[in-house]
Amino acid sequence: MTPASKRLLFWGPLALALAGVLLWLFRPAAVPVDLVEVGRGPLTVSVSDEGETRVRDVYVVSAPVPGRMRRIELEVGDAVVADQTVVARIEPGDPSFLDVRSEAEARAGVDAAAAARTHAGAQVTRAQAELDFARSELGRIRALARSHTVSENDLDAAERRARTAEAALAEARAERQVRESEYQVARARLMTPAASRSRVADCECVTVLSPVSGTVLRVVTESEGVVASGAALVEVGNPDQLEVVVDLLSADAVRVQVGQRAIIEAWGGPEPLEGRVRRIEPFGFTKVSALGIEEQRVNVVIDITAPRERWQRLGHGYRVEPRIVLWEAQDVLRLPLSALFRHGERWAVFVEHGGHAELREVEIGQGNGLDAEVRSGLDAGERVVLHPGDRVSPGARLAVRGT
């Protein structure tokens, strides 16, 4: 063996070992990642927002006439019976104060009415005197007629004058009554609020009864005071007939259909309540969000289908968070949305295979914001990378974070 061969046999293995060490030292470091196993399970797609409960039919009891309403004794939560429970009592209102000119005109009217009344009294006195004279004259003529001193024609004329005088007296008395009434009307125009209160202390009031049986939900006007005709006094309804109203974004509302299942959460009870969509209102409205953004909203009404015993402590105007189920399945292949990213025109994931990242395109179905349905491209039990960053590429070594 030559000296060159000996040197090659000695240094060759050392050079190969050194090259291997250098390759191991300068190889790409493993990328720390979080992995999740793809599995099968239930998946629910829903829309939700903050809503509130309300009595289905709320009746507003209003004042039928204007006047002074006495204090309402009912309190919120009191039971009422249709056409029996007294909601409010309304008495006549006080007259208003007169300004200087109106008061002067009213006093002049009183003086004129008093003068007319005096004139009517004098007319009655004169008519009475005319009647007395006619009756006396009739008596004399009847006495003469019995002795055939006067003719029958004279007797008939005397009787006619007596009857005419009686009618004139009745007319004068009626005229006096009219003038007396006008005088009282003129005096009433001068009545002050203080005087009217003393006169109507024991008056008969208009009684307002409850139109339906149920519970007092709200007392709009509680204290005694003047109310106008049609003013709201009390709101009455049946708390056993509750519904939930939630205002959804119009883009979410178009996905909702009547009859879809709803899950009512954050209502205060230990378990969610079941519900069913009854109505989607056909018009939207603008609502400003907490960030100052104008949003188009649509009211969706949900009936509570859970037994009354489970939500008997719920009342009118309580806050709830209903979720309306748009789609659900009990056994689908699913993975977190955080594992997905766009690869061209399709969705893709990085699958862990032998400690390395493998790029895999997948077909996605339904999603709920957290998980997505996998229709093809993955099998149950495979592990995918969560939140893949720029360091993860096809073929990259992977190291499970925390191990």
Task: Please give the pLDDT value at position 148.
Answer: 77
Q: If you search the block for the tokens 């968070």, which residue do you land on?
A: 321
Compute the distance between CA of residue 345 and CA of residue 374 in angstroms, rounded to an integer: 16
The band of 104, judged by pLDDT with boundaries at 50, 70 and 90, is confident
Neighbours of 282 (CB within 10 A): 6
Residue 26 has pLDDT above 60, yes or no: no
Q: For residue 156, what pLDDT band results from cuts at 50, 70 and 90?
A: confident
Distance of alpha carbon 394 from alpha carbon 29, whole angstroms: 14
Q: Are 85 and 209 in contact (CB under 8 A)?
A: yes
Has residue 217 got a pLDDT over 70?
yes
Percent of residues, the chain, with pLDDT higher than 70: 89
Looking at residue 275, what is its pLDDT?
Answer: 95
Asked if pLDDT for residue 320 goes beyond 90, the answer is yes
Confidence of residue 323 (pLDDT cuts 50, 70, 90): very high
Would you place residue 28 in the very low, low, confident or very high pLDDT band (cuts 50, 70, 90)? low
In the chain, % of residues over pLDDT 90: 50
Q: Which of 20-24, 90-94, 155-159, 233-237 has the lowest mean pLDDT?
A: 20-24
CA distance 84 to 207: 11
Mean pLDDT, rounded, for 178-202: 75
Residue 374: strand, helix, or coil: strand
Do 280 and 47 touch, CB atoms closer than 8 A? Answer: no
Confidence of residue 256 (pLDDT cuts 50, 70, 90): very high
DSSP 72: P
287-307 in b/e form (b: 16+ CB < 10 A) is eeeeeeeebebbbbbbbbeee
pLDDT tops 60 at residue 27: no
Residue 164 has pLDDT above 80, yes or no: yes
Lowest mean pLDDT among 13-17, 64-68, 73-77, 132-136: 13-17
pLDDT for residue 33 is more than 90: no
Residue type, 69: M
Mean pLDDT along residues 326-337: 92
Does the pLDDT value for residue 115 go beyond 60? yes
Residue 355: predicted pLDDT: 85
Confidence band of 157 (pLDDT split at 50, 70, 90): confident
CB 74 within 8 A of CB 222: no
Q: Which pLDDT score, from 0 to 100, does residue 398 have?
A: 85
Q: Is residue 326 pLDDT above 80, yes or no?
A: yes
- Tens digit of each residue's pLDDT (9 = 90 or more) over 333-380: 999 999 999 988 899 999 998 888 999 999 999 988 899 999 999 999
192, pLDDT greater than 80:
no
For the cut 60, the answer to whether the pLDDT of residue 198 exceeds it is no
pLDDT of residue 186: 86
Residue 5 pLDDT: 63
Cβ count within 10 A of residue 138: 19
3-state secondary structure of 326: strand
- pLDDT band, residue 277 (cuts 50/70/90): very high
